[in-house]
Amino acid sequence: MGDRKIIMNKKIKTALISVSDKSNLKSLLNILKKNKIKVISSGGTYKEIKRLKFKCLEVSKFTNSPEILEGRVKTLHPKIHAGILSNRQKKSHIKDLNNNNFENIDLVIVNFYPFENTLKKTKNHVKIIENIDIGGPSMVRSAAKNYNDVTVITSTDQYEELIQELKKFKGSTSLNFREKLSRIAFSETAYYDSVISSYFNKKTNTIFPRKKIFHGNLMEQLRYGENPHQQSAIYSSSSNTNLTQVNGKQLSYNNYNDIFSALTISKSLPKDKGTVIVKHCNPCGVSAKKNHLQSYKNALSCDPTSAFGGIVSCNFKITKSLALELHKTFLEVIIGNGFDNAAIKILKTKKNLRLIDSTNYIQEEFLKFISFNRNILIQSDDLNFFSNKNFKIVSKKKPTPKQLKDLIFAFNICRFVKSNAIVLASDETTVGIGSGQPSRLDSCQIAINKMKKINIETDNIVAASDAFFPFVDGIEKLVQSGVKAVVQPSGSIRDKEIIKFANETDTVLLFSKTRHFRH
C-alpha cells in the first residue's frame, strides 16, 4: 500500500469550483475541458463559468438540493463531502457511494470569502459576519485530508502549476503535488480562522484569550538571522510591511530590527519633524529641530562614532541638500517619508546603501511578542504620546517652557533606549545617551562621557531616566556634569531624598507618572 502511494498518480474526472476571486479562470477551464473533466459549481462562480462559455453543472442540480438561507448553505451536503472524502481504496467507501448514488470529486478549487479585505473596508458587524466562509473551508479541509485521492487548489497563484501538472501527467496529478497542496491548504484554513478569531478578540476587547492564535504572511526569507548560522524570515499580519525599498542590497534580519526600532522613535516625534540615528536597536542620536538639515546634523553630532554603519530615519521627505550631507557618512540604511528624485540620484551612487520609503508606514498599537523555547511573552506596546499632564513638578524650582519641552523630548527618547537608560538633551536634541547597563550609575557616566566628547556649549542640559534613581548618587553625578533639570519616574523609597537633593542644588525635578523600561 505504502509503495503504491509513492508512485501513484490520480486521474481527475470531476472538479468542483467555488471561488470568490474569479480571475484567471479561463486558462484553467481550458485545460479541464481538454482533459474532459466534469465541472461542478455554484452561485457567482457558476454564472462566471457559463459567461465564459464553458460547460458546468450547478451544485443544486448535482445534489438535487436547492441553495438555501440566502446562499449560506449550498455546498454543505453529503453528496459533496462524501465525494471528496471517500477513500478510493476502501470497498466500504465505494459501497456507500454506490448505495447513495454519489460520485467521487477528484479536484476541489476554492478560495474563501474575502474576510480580511472586508475588515479593511467596513466596521459593519453584520457585513463582516456574512463574509465568514463556512462551506469553502469545509471543502478545502475535506480535500486536504484526503490528498491521497483528491487535489485541492486554494489560490489563483496555483493555477499555472496545476495546468502544468495536468499536461505532464495527461489529466492526472502526482502524489507529491497533492501532498504539497494539502499542506498549503491546511495553512490557508488555519490562517483564515485565525483572522476571524483575532477579529472577535478585538471586538470583545479580549487581549489575552485562553488560546492565542497568530497569523502572518511570509514577506521574505532572509539570508540569515542575527548571525550567519541562524535561519530567518519576516512575516506580516498584513499583506505587506508598508515599506518600499528604493535602492540597495537585500535587507537582513538585523536591518529590519533596526528599521522598526528607528521608525518607532520617528513616529513618536511631531509630524514632519525629527531625525533618528539607530545602531543595534539603540538610538545614538535624535533631534526634533524644525530645519531638516540641521536636525540631521544635530542627531549625528550626538555620537558620530556610533552612527558609523548605522541607520538614519527621517520623519520627513529627504531632499537634495540633505542627501548630499547623508552621502558623507557610511550608513547601512536611510529611511524617509519619500525621496526627491535628486536625492535618490545622489544616494544611489552607493549601490549597496538601502533606501527605504516609509511614506505608507503607520505606527499602530499592537501586542509585542518575545519567544523562549515553547513559551511566548506578550505585552501591549509602549507608544502613548506624552504631554505636560503626564508629569509632576516636585522641586521648588520650576522648569522654563523650554526646559519642559526638552524634558518631555528626552523622556520620550529615553523609553526607546535599552535599560538602564539615561538621555541628556538640549534644544530638542540628544547630547548624550547611556544604555543597556546593569547599573544606572554606569549609564549616567556613559551619557556624560559622550556629552563631553562633543564639547557642547550650553548651560541648559536636561536629563531623563527610564526608571527612578534608587540612590542620590545617580542624580548627583548628572548635576555635577552640568545638568539643570531631571525627569524620572517616581516610586523609590528614597524619592524624598532625591527631591531634597534637587532643592539643595537648585535643580528642576519632574516625576513621571509612568515607568518606561525597555529590556
3-state secondary structure of 134: coil
Place of cell 544635530: 298
Q: Which three cell numbers stand for residue 89?
A: 481504496
Place of cell 526634533: 288
Told to judge if 145 belongs to the known catalytic residues of this protein, a careful annotator would answer yes
Exposed e or buried b for every residue in 464-492, given b needs 16+ CB within 10 A? bbbbbbeeeebbbbbbebbbbbbbbbbee
- How far, in Å, are 11, 137, 200, 289, 300 from residue 294 at the CA level? 70, 56, 47, 7, 10
Phi-psi region of 274 (alpha: psi -120 to 50; beta: other; left: phi over 0): left
Instruction: Determine contact, residues 267/382, Cβ cutoff 8 Å.
Output: no
State the Cα–Cα distance between residues 293 and 296, nearest whole angstrom.
5
DSSP single-letter state for residue 158:
G
Instruction: Determine contact, residues 276/262, Cβ cutoff 8 Å.
Output: yes
Dihedral sign computed on CA atoms, order 250, 254, 260, 261: negative
- Residue 448's nearest CA partner among 469, 479, 409, 417 is 479
* DSSP structure string for 367-428: EEEEEETTEEEEEE---PPP-GGGEEE-SSSPPPHHHHHHHHHHHHHHTTSPSS-EEEEETT
Told to judge if 327 belongs to the known catalytic residues of this protein, a careful annotator would answer no
Dihedral sign computed on CA atoms, order 449, 454, 458, 464: negative
Which of the residues 47, 212, 249, 280 is marked catalytic? 280
Instruction: Give the catalytic positions in this structure.
Output: 145, 280
